[in-house]
Structure 1
């Protein structure tokens, strides 16, 4: 896959050359990202672990289990991550979407753009029928991102994800491949 380009950003799979930039992104945003995901061990915030993650990303893609991309400004600066994970085949043809954007870059439309890019990739390259997202109800910004990218609300999953030791509710949103309707 070549560069997936939007107006301000592009997404592409991670390579080994991205490990330092990924570590920097994770370290600078540690407390911000952990508000919306699980707390990470100190080992996570090492260069070796980020290199390991990138190798895992590559294996997941080879096995059609997940697709992990960096979100980059046009100048090549890594500003976030976006992924399709838990890819399910057979009669489902679906995956979940997840993303993190550098707190300094919030509010500029980059995440919405990245969600649109990865959705196009999911439907046109990976041949998925459905992409699902789960967002904590208080994360209004993330819900807005998904709605701007065409996702629709489907309901509330009660206490379905354990985040930082607490079971959290998630607003379920989904996007259906427009070619399949």
Structure 2
């Protein structure tokens, strides 16, 4: 049974995403800072339109509520065919396995529709829920990057997790 559907982000999703992000602000505080106003949405959406990026909304089939947002960024085509994966969930749908279902759909889209070869996710070591999410999806830990990304004004270490199309070692 399909519990989650994904679709590319549309401008008409803006207010609903902003509302979900505001409600989930404390839930994400240690790990990410999604935008919480329309100007933040506009800046983020503008990057989608001008850069090699793709973002998806995951929706609960039953309620049509936003489960989460998935971003494929810095997409490189040619011989590399790779992207970085970022995501965050809506606290209203937390701990139901819906983000895992959504990630499966995003993976399928990335590999089958875009033709990507590799997806990489960088996750802070203390973010156990996120690590469990990618591990469950078959990602393998490839390494550790000290002071990799600035979160809340502090340079934070990250683990590097990746999935290669057709690679089932992590499953």
TM-score for both structures, normalised by structure 1: 0.83
**Structure 1, gaps ≥5 residues long:** 1-5
How far has the Cα of 1:71 moved from its partner? 1.2
Q: CA deviation at 1:107?
A: 1.5
> How far apart are 1:170 and its partner, in Å?
0.7
CA distance in 2: counterparts of 1:159 and 1:51, whole angstroms: 29
Question: Unaligned regions of 5+ residues in structure 2, if any?
Answer: none
Larger displacement relative to structure 2 (170-179 or 120-129): 170-179
Whether 2:21 is the aligned partner of 1:33: answer no
Which residue of structure 2 lines up, in the alignment, with residue 92 of structure 1?
A: 80
Number of the residue aligned with 1:177: 165
Per-residue deviation, 1:54: 3.2
Q: Does 1:8 align with 2:3?
A: yes
SS state of the match for residue 160, structure 2?
Answer: strand
Q: Select the residue among 105, 116, 122 that pairs with 2:93.
A: 105
| CA–CA distance in structure 2, aligned partners of residues 139 and 52 of structure 1 | 26
CA RMSD of aligned residues (A): 1.9
Pick the aligned partner of 1:129 from 103, 117, 142: 117
Give 1:39-58 correspondences, 5 Å limit.
44-57=35-48
SS in 1 for 2:69: strand
SS at match of 1:45: coil
- Runs of 4 or more off by more than 3 Å in structure 1? 51-56
Q: Which moved more, 1:92-101 or 1:12-21?
A: 12-21
State the partner residue of 2:155: 167
Instruction: Provide the aligned length of Structure 1 versus Structure 2.
Output: 166
